[in-house]
Structure 1
Amino acid sequence: MLNVMYSKMKLAIVDDHPMILEGLKSLFLQHTNYTIFSFTKGAAIVDFIQENEIDIVLLDIVLSDGSGLDFCKTIKQKSPQTIVIAISNQAERSIIFRFLENGGNGYILKNADAEEIIKCIENSINGDLALSREVHEIMLKPAINNFEVPRITKREQQILQAIAQGFTSAEIAEKLFISIVTVETHRRNLLQKFAAKNMIELVRIATENNLIT
């Protein structure tokens, strides 16, 4: 259940498939917490967001007037505070990482059920990545490169694994019986060790070097 902290969130859905668009609208209209806007073109949401505040954008990757990858980057440039989440049939690992690197706040495959979609939205509002379960699995597939892997402690490995699985700092703290402050300290240390700009890049590097199982 969504709680009151999500009341009156302005949610835009961008998809050029009428059945998908109507299905998502129907899902979120079941909750009075959202004001829903819908668009069939990426350019339309870009124009709209220049004149109107939108809290969350659910953005398809393949649109008739362009790529959601590019629209994501444009939206984040014009409205950095807007949460932009891909909702797509595109399950390629490279596309997922490109979307996140373009500023995306999450990636949901369209085969996710209603409960999973709502949970992902909740995660994004809480400041975490909104990743559906299958996206997690795709991101965890190994890739090979010449990166020199830093040495990490057993605790850092546990936290790295939990981050990749989408757990929040509070959830990691509860899971490992440590304080949130300790978790945040480990997060910062991991960023430094991997020379990563953010958690998305950290997970990508760790995944590509088989540090996450």
Structure 2
Amino acid sequence: MDRITLAIVDDHPMILEGLKSLFSGDVDRYQLFFFTKGEALLDFIQENRVDVVLLDIVLNDGSGLDFCKLIKQKSKDTVLLGISNQEERSIIFRFLENGGNGYILKNADANEIVCCVEKAVAGELALSRKVQEIMLTPMEAPPQLPRLTKREQQVLQAISNGLTSADIAEKLFISVITVETHRRNLLQKFTAKNMFELVKIATENRLI
């Protein structure tokens, strides 16, 4: 087998030492380089070939998500594996979208980490077992937004503009009691605790 140039980027000394001991035993297979900053690796790959990078997602000098994209721009053949405690599906997806070839959680055992590196070198998508479980877990369906009548939409827009019930009643030519009824109905439809939360939900869902 060809020797693999493996760069490990992590600003936690214990993690670096652990990964160093994991791969340093096979000197015929791995040539190792260690970095605590993403920028240092970017400088290194300008002048040196790197086959595989184990890249932490949270670094002192930036996000591994951004460094992943920058590394791929400078060296498209370099295999990039995220190694992190970040378990959010959105972060895993973003890393892969930015050119990553796999993702490993730091609680993976030693054999699993080495196996993922070898799989990635072979051209396969390399995900540790826990990451596979996260990716295969069905996402919850987004909550259904309530249907609003034309009048409710008008009242909601007026509330978001900071108008009082009296102002809204005058503007829409309806009674204050009717406005208050619409307010209560809107709170119930959106299961909002107060008007501030109501406007926040409506704004986030682009209803106003």
TM-score range, shorter chain: 0.5 to 0.7
Q: State the superposition RMSD in angstroms.
A: 0.9
Q: Name the residue aligned to 1:39.
A: 35
Q: Name the residue aligned to 2:157.
A: none
Which has the higher Rg, Structure 1 or Structure 2?
2
Q: Name the residue aligned to 1:89.
A: 85
Matched, 1:114 2:104: no
| Structure 1 segments unaligned to the other structure (5+ residues) | 146-213
Letter of the structure 2 residue corresponding to residue 89 of structure 1: N
The Cα of 1:50 is off from its aligned counterpart by 1.0
The Cα of 1:141 is off from its aligned counterpart by 1.5
Q: Name the residue aligned to 2:5.
A: 10
Query: More deviation in 24-33 or 64-73?
Result: 24-33
**Length, aligned pairs only:** 140
Q: Name the residue aligned to 1:24.
A: 19
The Cα of 1:8 is off from its aligned counterpart by 1.6
Letter of the structure 2 residue corresponding to residue 21 of structure 1: L
The Cα of 1:122 is off from its aligned counterpart by 1.1
In 2: Cα distance, 1:138 partner to 1:131 partner: 10
Q: Which of 68, 71, 75 is equivalent to 1:72?
A: 68
In 1: Cα distance, 2:45 partner to 2:89 partner: 28
RCO higher in structure (CA 8 A, sep ≥6): 1
Q: Name the residue aligned to 2:54.
A: 58
Q: Is the partner of 1:58 in helix, strand or coil?
A: strand
Q: Is the partner of 2:137 in helix, strand or coil?
A: coil
Using the size of structure 1 for normalisation, the TM-score is: 0.64
Q: Is the partner of 1:57 in helix, strand or coil?
A: strand
Moved over 4 A (4+): none
Q: Could you tell me the percent identity over the aligned residues?
A: 70
The Cα of 1:53 is off from its aligned counterpart by 0.5
Q: Name the residue aligned to 2:128.
A: 132
| Structure 2 segments unaligned to the other structure (5+ residues) | 143-208
Letter of the structure 2 residue corresponding to residue 11 of structure 1: L
In 2: Cα distance, 1:88 partner to 1:135 partner: 11
Q: Is the partner of 2:100 in helix, strand or coil?
A: coil
* Superposition map of 1:62-211 within 5 A: 62-143=58-139, 144=141
Using the size of structure 2 for normalisation, the TM-score is: 0.66
